[in-house]
Structure 1
Amino acid sequence: MSIYNYLAKKANGDILSMQTYRGKVLLITNTASQCQFTYQYEDLQKLYVKYAEQGFEILSFPCNQFGNQNPESGAQSAAQCMGQFGVTYPIFDKVQVNGDMTHPLFNYLKHEVDVAPMAKDTMQQKMLYQQIAEHNPDYLLGHNIRWNFTKFLVDQHGKVIARFEPDSSMLDIENAIQQLFK
């Protein structure tokens, strides 16, 4: 199996096969429009612009499972991301990434790589951990996605290479992307 076995609904309702991205390096992320990590839209856009010509794509999937931070539809999320953050990478329809209604693509992604222990070194990490522990303690268990802006790096062959938590360094993500282009 690879990501190429999955379909996803675009923000406009069209169904797209992940085969579309065969041969490209992908960063797939669940996002939210009203999250403390929303600033990452701009960071992701910079990565996209920098590496798109080399065959890099970012696939953004709005998700409302974490603190009700993306109540908008997928189409509304896409419009907001383009207008407010200048996003030009694809924004898909809203999905669920945990629980019984988990989108099949995210079910696959989160079971392909190990989950690192959640760091609690910085104030931001401690606050995020506390938020999850209070409202969704099950998200701290197993392969669950813990919060918005969890990212999965996929190589040119559809293999999931790495998982980056919301507070992961963009520099670490960029270094991992660069390694796939060597």
Structure 2
Amino acid sequence: MSNVYQFEANSLSGQPQPLADYRGKVLLIVNTASECGFTPQYAGLQTLQASYQARGFDVLGFPCNQFGKQEPGDAEQIGAFCESRFHVTFPMFEKIDVNGADAHPLYKWLTSEKRGFLGTQAIKWNFTKFLLRRDGTVFKRYASTTKPEEIRADIESLLAEQPA
């Protein structure tokens, strides 16, 4: 696979969602969790979405329960939590695995494209972030500890690039 547009994931409502629907946008793909110390990052992610959506940017949230069982809810509970607590308007997808044999193909691709600290491929924790260019290729990977506001300059740089 050469870009994100070759993948599909189910929306939080269970509907197949081709990622090709986001063609031409700068994307920030994040594995999320509702009961994590990093969960307040939802607020920062929503701020990025609100700030840059009109310029061709979207956050894509992928709930995951692989780290400390910190996303125990079903799709309805996850959606209600995101809406009521953080007023999330960015697209959220069905809960997936991001590591191991059952990892979603999107995450297998993302982690092979940009490795983490010391060259590790595995996702280390919730709220690991991948920033993608308008052409659907991976620009950069950010650790869980990287706050959404710290990514602004990179987002602005990619938004300023002319689409191919």
Q: Which runs of 4+ in 1 moved over 4 A?
A: none
Tell me the matched-pair count.
159
Q: Which residue of 2 aligns with 1:99?
A: 100
Give the counterpart letter for 1:66 in structure 2.
Answer: F
Q: Which residue of 1 aligns with 2:139?
A: 161
Query: Which stretch has the larger CA shift, 163-172 or 102-111?
Result: 163-172
Q: Which residue of 2 aligns with 1:122?
A: none
Contact 1:59/1:91 (CA < 8 Å) preserved in 2?
yes
Q: Which residue of 2 aligns with 1:49?
A: 50
Q: Which residue of 1 aligns with 2:7?
A: 6
Give the counterpart letter for 1:115 in structure 2.
Answer: G
User: How much is the aligned-residue C-alpha RMSD, in angstroms?
Assistant: 1.2
TM-score, normalising length: structure 2 = 0.93
CA-to-aligned-CA distance 1:115-136 (integer Å, 9 cap, x gap): 234xxxxxxxxxxxxxxxxxxx
> Quick check: which has more Rg, 1 or 2?
1
Q: Which residue of 2 aligns with 1:177?
A: 155
Report the identity percentage.
Answer: 42
Contact 2:67/2:126 (CA < 8 Å) preserved in 1?
yes
Question: Structure 2: 5+ residue runs without aligned partners?
Answer: none
CA-to-aligned-CA distance 1:83-136 (integer Å, 9 cap, x gap): 11111101110000001100000111111013234xxxxxxxxxxxxxxxxxxx
Q: How far apart are 1:180 and its partner, in Å?
A: 0.3
Q: Which residue of 2 aligns with 1:69?
A: 70
SS of 2:31's partner is strand
Contact 2:31/2:128 (CA < 8 Å) preserved in 1?
yes
Contact 1:78/1:92 (CA < 8 Å) preserved in 2?
no
CA distance in 2 between counterparts of 1:171 and 1:42 reads 10
CA distance in 2 between counterparts of 1:78 and 1:103 reads 20
Contact 2:44/2:149 (CA < 8 Å) preserved in 1?
no
SS of 2:109's partner is helix
CA distance in 2 between counterparts of 1:111 and 1:78 reads 29
Q: How far apart are 1:60 and its partner, in Å?
A: 0.2
Question: Structure 1: 5+ residue runs without aligned partners?
Answer: 118-140
Contact 2:27/2:57 (CA < 8 Å) preserved in 1?
yes
TM-score, normalising length: structure 1 = 0.84
Q: Which residue of 1 aligns with 2:61?
A: 60
Q: How far apart are 1:171 and its partner, in Å?
A: 3.6
Give the counterpart letter for 2:6 in structure 1.
Answer: N
CA distance in 2 between counterparts of 1:30 and 1:173 reads 16
CA distance in 2 between counterparts of 1:82 and 1:172 reads 23
Question: Is 1:145 the equivalent of 2:123?
Answer: yes
CA distance in 1 between counterparts of 2:132 and 2:87 reads 24
CA distance in 1 between counterparts of 2:4 and 2:29 reads 11
